[in-house]
Amino acid sequence: MVEISVKLPDGSGKQVPEGATVFDVATAISPRLASAAIAGKIDGALVDIDHVVSEGASVEIVTDRSPEALGILRHSAAHVMAEAVKDLFPTAKFGIGPAIEDGFYYDFDVDRPFTPGDLAAIEDRMRQIAAESKHFLRGELDRLEAWDAFDGQPYKRELIEGLPEGETISIYTQGNFTDLCRGPHVPDTGWLKAFKLMKGAGAYWRGDSDRPMLQRIYGTAWMSQKDLDAYLTRIEEAERRDHRKLGKELDLFSFHEEAGAGLPLYHPKGARVLRLLQEWLRGVLYSRGYVEVITPHIFKSDVWKISGHYENYRDNMYFFEVDEGDGRVNEYGIKPMNCPGHLMIYGDSLRSYRDLPIRMSEFGTVYRHEMSGVVHGLMRARSFTQDDAHIFCTPEQVHAEVLGMLDLVAYVNGVFGFEYSAEVSTRPDKSIGGEEFWRVATEALINALDEKGVPYEINEGDGAFYGPKIDIKLKDAIGRTWQTSTIQVDYNMPQRFGLTYRTAENTEAQPIMLHRTILGSMERFFGILIEHYAGAFPTWLAPVQAVIIPIADRHMDHVASVRARLETVGVRCEVYSDQEPMRVKIAKAQQQKVPYMLIIGDKEVEADSVSVRERTAGDIGAVPVAEFADMVAASKPGA
């Protein structure tokens, strides 16, 4: 028997018979490993478990605990769902069915939208298919064979037409279903032990509103029922915390169809929270050497052409024409970013190296044309305010400034109790500037993260069109991740706007521009906070910090005195004076998630105190009014 040698991840080698598969390699290492093997990697590329290995190949076994395992399982689940749909809806035409974060989906062209009953029937059929442990069999076809194989499937044929000449066309078959697919898949359908179909939705073919509307089914799949149950519990908790639901219940904001998608209207309580966030962060920025500016919401298109937005970002902007009244008609663009205004402010004065760095901040409202299908409450809006800043500095100052921004990120996230990591996004295909700039700028960001010990991943090709960036990903109370802060290095825009400074040698040099947000979109961060705290904001941020509840009408004079004194020192109060039972008033305050309820009766009037009930701890006793005010003041960060 001829044997070949393969390399294992630990650097050792393993002798296996010629023609051995990944599964054979796993078996040769350990029967236990073979039983857990889902797929393999050969020279870094994912392959099926029955893929034949070759002499000298580097082989890694992908098990149910590998990072890639869930993606493979979910992709296989999408194929099983498609087989179930084919069995139940024989005339269905098939789109695509990828794995996605936390699950999978598949798009179908059917006669009518799927109903909840349809989803239940499809899920039942999937369980039958899983129980049959059907093997996923890979095949390869030439272009003509593939075309014939998908007769009557126009979406598959369109995908075939889009494949480069000479590219291998692979298919996978399980049971009576065959699909175009690169793979890999789990060994057989028996691996699908814990899955659930979540919902149906409409989806345009290839995301193009001019193409047919298909019916998409979303599902989720996990390695064990325990993991699936935990996920479903998280989903239930996320629904309970949904900022759109809580925003209505707590009277924070609203959306109106007649106003337009993605345009939030803030009610008094929501506006109060946003202003509190801004006032707090403004103080933090002033203490760190920032200056604040205010720029217009619109600029002539000339500005957007200089900045590069007109060429590279136009599809995300709103433009309109203005008759200037003197025979001229000018095109204006509503700002999607605050950068150009800050560049023009810098350029309005002569600058010296002694002036740098200049840290210019603005709570600037911007407008971006998001497709209505992706607009999602405050998390993805068309109008939002950024806690924006641009730092103009010398090349030698870039490293220290990025470190300073990372310090600010750490402080702010610490205030709210968020854990976070980072992602470094590199040059996209649609971009401006030379390769050397992109290399130096990307290295500056990576070096700063390394120095601060912030964990990060590289996201190739997802930088801004003018420079690479760091995106900060925070984790909320139920384990979800959200992108908030961003830090970008930009050598391009200062050059496009002709910005300079005088060096110590009395020559002209171009400053480096650093773009950064900390909270990011104030709307998005507000939505994250609502869901993170389930609407129960910390005391310093609560729109109403205390409700004062009189036991009887004769206590109203003292209630008015207490309210006046508390409001004088900045405590935000409301009085519940309606003729309602005490338990109803307390329940109302609990429903509104007010941090404190202050009960006033005869004893409190006599002692000039308030009986304090905290929203989670319950009754904590009577305290003097001034002492309660001190309790509230101490809740503010930095107090």
Report the alpha-carbon angle 605-607-612, nearest 5: 80
Neighbours of 168 (CB within 10 A): 9
Q: Of the residues 75, 335, 473, 515, which is catalytic?
A: 515
How far is residue 511 CA from its own chain's centroid? Answer: 32
515 as an active site residue: the answer is yes
Q: Of the residues 368, 555, 585, 613, which is catalytic?
A: 368
The reply to whether 319 and 363 lie within a common domain is yes
**What's the pLDDT band for 473 if we cut at 50, 70, 90?**
very high
CATH code of the domain containing 54? 3.10.20.30
The reply to whether 333 and 211 lie within a common domain is no
Largest CA-CA distance found in the chain, in angstroms, rounded: 101
Establish if 551 belongs to a structural domain. yes
153 as an active site residue: the answer is no
The reply to whether 452 and 596 lie within a common domain is no
Q: Which residues pair with 332 in a beta bridge?
A: 300, 320
The reply to whether 440 and 562 lie within a common domain is no
Structure-derived torsion over alpha carbons of residues 359, 363, 364, 366, reported in degrees to the nearest 10: 120
Mark out the alpha helices in 417-461 (DSSP H runs): 435-452
The reply to whether 334 and 402 lie within a common domain is yes
Establish if 277 belongs to a structural domain. yes
469 as an active site residue: the answer is yes
The reply to whether 181 and 271 lie within a common domain is no
181 as an active site residue: the answer is no
CATH code of the domain containing 551? 3.40.50.800
Give the pLDDT score at 29. 94
State whether residue 175 is helix, strand or coil: coil
Give the pLDDT score at 150. 96
The reply to whether 555 and 520 lie within a common domain is no
Which candidate, 592, 591, 534, places its Cα nearest to that of 241? 534
The reply to whether 308 and 261 lie within a common domain is yes
Cα–Cα distance, 626 to 639 (Å, whole number)? 16
Q: Is a pLDDT exceeding 80 seen at residue 372?
A: no
The residue among 189, 213, 239 that closes a domain is: 239
CATH code of the domain containing 492? 3.30.930.10
Q: Of the residues 181, 339, 393, 573, which is catalytic?
A: 339
The reply to whether 442 and 388 lie within a common domain is yes
182 as an active site residue: the answer is no
Find the domain containing 51 and state its range: 3-63
Q: Is a pLDDT exceeding 80 seen at residue 373?
A: no
Establish if 248 belongs to a structural domain. no
Establish if 163 belongs to a structural domain. yes
Neighbours of 591 (CB within 10 A): 11
> Cβ distance 26 to 33 under 8 Å?
yes
Establish if 189 belongs to a structural domain. yes
Establish if 246 belongs to a structural domain. no
Q: Of the residues 390, 563, 593, 613, which is catalytic?
A: 390
Give the pLDDT score at 639. 65
Query: 597-621 burial, b for 16+ CB within 10 Å, e for fewer?
Result: bbbbbeebbeeebbbbbebeeeeee
Q: Is a pLDDT exceeding 90 seen at residue 209?
A: no
573 as an active site residue: the answer is no
Q: Of the residues 79, 469, 532, 563, which is catalytic?
A: 469
More confident residue, 440 or 357: 357
399 as an active site residue: the answer is no
Q: Of the residues 174, 215, 386, 545, which is catalytic?
A: 386
The reply to whether 586 and 459 lie within a common domain is no
Q: Is a pLDDT exceeding 70 seen at residue 314?
A: yes
The reply to whether 464 and 579 lie within a common domain is no
**What's the pLDDT band for 284 if we cut at 50, 70, 90?**
very high
Cα–Cα distance, 471 to 203 (Å, whole number)? 29
Give the pLDDT score at 1. 66
CATH code of the domain containing 76? 3.30.980.10
Mark out the alpha helices in 385-475 (DSSP H runs): 398-416, 435-452
Establish if 245 belongs to a structural domain. no
Which tokens in the block code for residue 368? 């971006």
SS (H, E, C) 264-320: CEECHHHHHHHHHHHHHHHHHHHHCCEEECCCCCEEEHHHHHHHCHHHHCHHHCEEE
Mark out the alpha helices in 478-598 (DSSP H runs): 492-496, 522-532, 556-568, 582-591
The residue among 488, 512, 532 that closes a domain is: 532
Which tokens in the block code for residue 517? 């947000």
Q: Of the residues 87, 387, 388, 490, which is catalytic?
A: 388
Establish if 638 belongs to a structural domain. no
The reply to whether 553 and 511 lie within a common domain is no
Number of domains forming the structure of the chain = 4
pLDDT per position as a tens digit, 38-72: 999 999 999 999 999 999 999 999 999 999 999 99
The residue among 239, 273, 296 that closes a domain is: 239
